[in-house]
Amino acid sequence: MKFNVGYQLLEDESLIDGIIAHKDDIYEVYFSFGDFPNGRNNQLKSEIFTPYEAQEKQLSDLEKLSKAGLHFNLLFNGNCYGKDSLSRAFFSKVGDTTDYLMRKIGINSVTVTSPVIAKFFKANFEELEVRASVNMEIGSVEGMDYISDVFDSYYMKREYNRDFGKIRELKKWCDDNGKKLFGLCNSGCLNNCSVHNFHDNLVAHESDISAMDNAYDFRGKCWEYLSKGDNAKYMIQRSNYIRPEDVHLYEGLFEALKLATRINASPIKVIHAYTSGRFYGGINEILEPNHSSVIAPNFLDNSKFPKDFAETVGNCSKDCQGCNYCTEVYNKILTKLNGGYIYADKQND
């Protein structure tokens, strides 16, 4: 299986060197550029660099990856562009930025949420593959068909990661219609989150929001929900991540799997886990978002999952209200650190 890996601006070269070391397993490196709203934080906002230094460091990193032969996916996946959504000036900026990066490092594809941006790329950059963002929550043949005139590939709705029947259905339609299907591998988001779109909109407008005198600090509903009562027991049942050990079951179903690494505290750990097909530690550590603190000092020991976990949940009836399987797995793998510390790190064994 090949993986799409997210670029993260770091002070050192560890991520860049790590990506190059794993380049044979990497399909594309995806990244946002400049101050465009996207599905994560503004890449130019850094505690280490000024905006000018951040842009210079990012471009230097990308040029190094380009020289190593990596392919790139440029993100215009903000959930909202406000007053710029249809403006001529905005699309001129999108075009100028893309043209510059194509000449500077080479771009193979773009991932977008706006069908209008997709239309713009189809009209002006025919050589680029246009991909529908996972934030569009596409999980049906109809959803793909409606926008098939401006999209070449699709990220599948993450909630279907554990439904092999649904994945095969979408894969067949893509094969029959000359499209590609991708998946997001390590999301820590809860399934069917009622406030997901609201949160994505906040992220898209974070630069403006951070400049305001705000009455509330919103960090996502998942943290608050999982911290209440015994709701942490739903961490497995209401999640959709694919474990590194189970990636092989998805061979032939996806063109590549996306690894969320743009805000993870240790992106190289995530990349190594999935490219090696194994991970020793708490499963939440390699997810975005990482909910480890909700159950600390306990953790969900990834090595204790049943060997047939993915096959079981990937082929089940999805009658979660009448089934305790995932809760039983949660109780089985919930582990307390020995004295609050992990004494052996087998990650590189």
Amino acid present at 140: S
Output the CA–CA distances (angstroms, integers) from residue 162 to 261, 292, 344, in the order listed: 21, 22, 31
Task: Band the pLDDT of 342: cuts 50, 70, 90.
Answer: very low
Average pLDDT over residues 226-244: 96
Q: Spell out the residues 6+ positions from residue 190 whose beta carbon is closer than 8 angstroms to its own.
A: 222, 225, 226, 234, 238, 239
Average pLDDT over residues 271-288: 97
CATH superfamily of 3-336: Phosphoenolpyruvate-binding domains (3.20.20.60)
> Is the model's pLDDT at 327 over the cut of 90?
yes
Comparing 38 with 332, which gets the higher pLDDT?
A: 332
Q: Is 60 helix (H, G, I), strand (E, B) or coil?
A: helix
**Which among 57, 60, 95 is positioned nearest to 76, based on CA atoms?**
95
Exposure of 179 in the CB half-sphere (CA atoms within 13 A):
25
Q: How far apart are CA 305 and CA 284, in angstroms?
A: 13
**Which among 36, 29, 7, 50 is positioned nearest to 97, based on CA atoms?**
36
pLDDT given at position 27: 98
pLDDT given at position 39: 67
CB-based contact 220:188 (threshold 8 Å)? no
**Which among 32, 37, 8, 33 is positioned nearest to 208, based on CA atoms?**
37
Q: How far apart are CA 334 and CA 145, in angstroms?
A: 42
Average pLDDT, the chain: 93
Q: How far apart are CA 324 and CA 337, in angstroms?
A: 25
Q: How far apart are CA 20 and CA 81, in angstroms?
A: 33
Q: How far apart are CA 167 and CA 100, in angstroms?
A: 36
Average pLDDT over residues 297-309: 97
List the structure tokens of 169: 């259905």
pLDDT given at position 346: 42
Task: Band the pLDDT of 347: cuts 50, 70, 90.
Answer: very low
> Is the model's pLDDT at 188 over the cut of 60?
yes
Report pTM: 0.93
Radius of gyration over every alpha carbon of the chain, rounded to an integer in angstroms:
20
CB-based contact 282:266 (threshold 8 Å)? no
Task: Band the pLDDT of 77: cuts 50, 70, 90.
Answer: very high
Task: Band the pLDDT of 168: cuts 50, 70, 90.
Answer: very high
**Which among 7, 1, 21 is positioned nearest to 73, based on CA atoms?**
7
List the structure tokens of 13: 């070269």
**Which among 55, 1, 50 is positioned nearest to 31, based on CA atoms?**
55
Average pLDDT over residues 282-311: 96
Residue 182, Cβ neighbours under 10 Å: how many? 23
pLDDT in tens, 106-144: 999 999 999 999 999 999 999 999 999 999 999 999 999
> Is the model's pLDDT at 260 over the cut of 80?
yes
